[in-house]
Structures are given as C-alpha cells and as structure tokens.
Amino acid sequence: MPAVKQVSDSPAVIAVTDSIQYRGRKASRAGSEKRRQAILEAALRIIVREGVRAVRHRAVAAEAQVPLSATTYYFKDINDLISDTFTLFVERCAANQNQLWARNETLLQDRVSKFDGSPDALRSFADEVAHIAVAFVRDQLINRRDHLLAEQAFRHEALLNPRLHELVRAQAQILLQGATRLFTILGSKHPLEDATLLTTVVERMEYQGLIEGVDTLDIEAMLAILKRYMYLVLDV
C-alpha cells in the first residue's frame, strides 16, 4: 500500500501558465481596467445564459452597461473578446483552487500526520475522501453552477476554435495540480495518473448534475464509485 507522507509545510500555490495571455487592447489606467473587466464579466454572463454564439459587441455593451465604442476599443476582433473572456475564466479557476487549498491543506496535512497506515485507517480515509468529493460536486452544482456552465461552453467552443486550445490545456493543468498534490501526500507512486482519473470522475458527475439536476443525483452510487476508486488507489 502507498505510504502517506508530509509534502510541505507551506500551502500549495496553483499557478496560471505563462502561455495564458490576454489578446485585447491593454488598459492604461485603473478606471480603464475596471471597464475592461466589466466587459469581460458581461461576456461571461452572456455565455452562461445563451452560449458563446450570443457574444456580440452590442450585446456585451448592453450587458456591461457601457458604450458600444468601449467594447470595440478593447476588442476589435470578437474572437479576442471570447478568448479574453475565457482567459479571465481560467485565472478565476486558479484563484478558486488556491482558496480551496488554503482552506483544506492544513487539515489534510494534520490528518495525514496522525495516520497509522493500517488497512482500517486507509479504508476510513478513503471513505472520507469519497464523501468530500461528493460534497464538492454538490456544492459546485448548487453554488457555482454558472462556473460549471461556463466551463462546458468553454470546452465546446475550443473544439471549434484552435485559439482556445492553450487555455483548455491550462485549465486542465490547474485542476490537476491540486488533485496531484493530494495523491502525492497520500504517497501514490503515480500521483498525476491518479489525479487525472479522479478529476475525470468528478467532472462526469458534475456534467450529469447539470443535465439531470442536483436533486436527482444518486449520492449512494456516487459514493460507491469514488470509494471503489480510492480503495484501488490505496490498495485496501
């Protein structure tokens, strides 16, 4: 079985890769940056409500309550507006992951430091991780549904728009960093592969929840799947 271990006394930092860059015109003043940010946030709200195809200069200007000239000033190309909107989305993914680790990593390290490595303890810990994962999925569907919808729109648009491929890879890397750290702490011999499988399972559950509704989720089935997976990883 893997040996759990202490990774670091300092919190993990989820970083956005250097390949992620805004394409539109840069703001030169604080007030200008605030307006530019408002435009991107408006575009993101439209994407969540109506999809990427609804992102047009006039629609975004109305949503952001700014003159049409403001959107065309910062984003002459509508593709730049879409790309920069998803760049903002990816940056927020990183910020959210950092907040998640800031809240939970100390608790995880403390839990691991008291871990005796026995089969019963491993199974109990696997059960805890499964319950945490299910709670995470439910929280995402209840409190961050717009984020999940934006994520699905983002990935679908990337199938049609090669300019978004780097952003898709960056977001996937951000999601994997935290999960990889979890499995590193658990002493996995293959933390990246284990993290990839876990995030894939969680993302499938999130998608199912978006389609069928959070109230229809089969919690027991979700727990059974996640427990089975954690038992295999921890060899219990």
Q: Is residue 199 part of a domain?
A: yes
Domain count, the chain: 1
In this structure, how many other beta carbons lie within 10 angstroms of the beta carbon of residue 160? 8
Q: Is residue 23 part of a domain?
A: no
Q: Chain-wide mean pLDDT for the chain?
A: 87
What's the CA gap between 45 and 188, in Å, rounded?
39
Convert the pLDDT of each residue in 141-173 to its tens digit: 999 999 999 999 999 999 999 989 999 999 999
Distances (CA, A) of 54 to 68, 78, 148: 16, 11, 18
Q: Is residue 48 part of a domain?
A: no
Task: Residue 20: name the closest of 77, 90, 67, 70 by CA.
Answer: 90
Q: Is residue 58 part of a domain?
A: no
Q: Is residue 64 part of a domain?
A: no
What's the CA gap between 11 and 76, in Å, rounded?
40
Domain hosting residue 95, numbered range: 78-234
In this structure, how many other beta carbons lie within 10 angstroms of the beta carbon of residue 142? 11
Q: Is residue 34 part of a domain?
A: no
Q: Is residue 31 part of a domain?
A: no
Q: Which of 11-20, 26-35, 63-72, 143-152 has the weakest average pLDDT? A: 11-20
CATH of the domain at 119: 1.10.357.10
